Structure 1
Amino acid sequence: MSKCRHCNIEITDDTQVCPLCRCVVEVDEHTDNRYPDIRFRTQKLHLAVRIFLFVAIILEVLFVYLNYKFYHGILWSLITGAGFAYIYFIARFAILNDNADYRAKFLTLTFFGILYVILIDVCIGYHGWSVNFVLPGGLLFVDLAIVILMFVNRRNWQSYIMLEISMIFLSAIPLLLMKFHIVTETFISGVAFVVSVLLFVGTVIIGDRRARMELKRRFHMR
């Protein structure tokens, strides 16, 4: 039987990390606070995900047949298939995967969500609204979420610096697409890039020594 010294709870299953704070647990037989065995709950979640995958495959085969049989210029079965895949990815990566950091989960799911919206735009004839508005809008949403998370997690705000750097590179994608005339609305894309840059610069300036220490640690600088 294990105990988390940080949360002061006892864990009855065989996990080596605390389900609440992800800290390494220690063996301890003397404690009053008990955390229930989570194995049965996890097994049920895995079973539910497998059932969903099976049902999704059957439905997608049916949708492909109907789309082929009654085709009217829109590959709507591709949209449903990508939607099923995205839901399955959320379940496997965001819910059942305990190893991935929540920041990586948030950024990855947002990124693939934007790609899914772009796919919808392409399948219905491509009008450009996905790359002109949804793509930079999604990037601005991530920047806003970073600010909120930094305020909520004030003791560890410097851990979001690498995410801010990633957002600068991602926000440069719409600017690059302008060169190929894929993105035609320049204002919101420019705003997304400027906000990402200012968020990083502001963090470094306001964070001062802690921000510089975090950058040195991340990039292995002396």
Structure 2
Amino acid sequence: MLIPIKNVLNHNEIQQAQQWLEAGRWQDGKATAGGIAAQVKNNLQLDDQCQQAKQLQQLIVARLNQCPQFIAAALPAKLYPPKFNCYQNGGHYGAHVDGSIMTLPDQSQLRTDVSCTLFLTEPGDYAGGELCIEGQYGLQEVKLSAGDLILYPATSLHQVKPVTEGKRVCAFFWAQSLVKNSEQRSHLYDLDNTIQSLTHQLGANHSDIIALSGLYHNLVRQWTTT
């Protein structure tokens, strides 16, 4: 299930992010790819250790923690700190599946259940660069406004098409979910959205809302893996 989330960062935050990105230290993206991925990766990546990367990581994580739609969709148990990439001059990333286990800065392990891309440049600022994701309903191409996020199962085969003009800059990161199964997460997300919609219509104290909320939490309790 592909879930777009609008306005994770607002206009002022995007402007600040772009200033930090311009001042940051960039390196060859192949340095952080392993195995097959390194053979199909052609981009630049912001050095995780530079001050600008750390500032932007803190901003994004703070906004994600305040974003009900992200929390409902990912049900995050752990979050990999955002990384930042830049595609230009034909840069691309061929078809690949993200690694299943990643090491966090504290040396603990994270299982990549959910992949996320947060767009930091406007779609009109570059040509090409679509994020192409193979999903249940075939290939879907994604190219969102700056500040918007796309969330999708980390098991998905995906690629970034060549950027033929301009510059495409994004943050990318992963979440280990409390609910490992992507289909179960999708059901819970749909149920949560239904509960929120009906709450606006009927009020939080309506018996049907209370019953549905109980069902939601009992399913989370049953399906949670940690």
**TM-score tier after normalising by the smaller chain length:** under 0.3
**Comparing both structures, which one devotes a greater share of its residues to helix?**
1
Decide which structure has the larger Cα Rg and report it: 1
TM-score (norm 2): 0.25
What's the TM-score once normalised by structure 1's chain length? 0.26
In proportion to residue count, which structure has more strand? 2
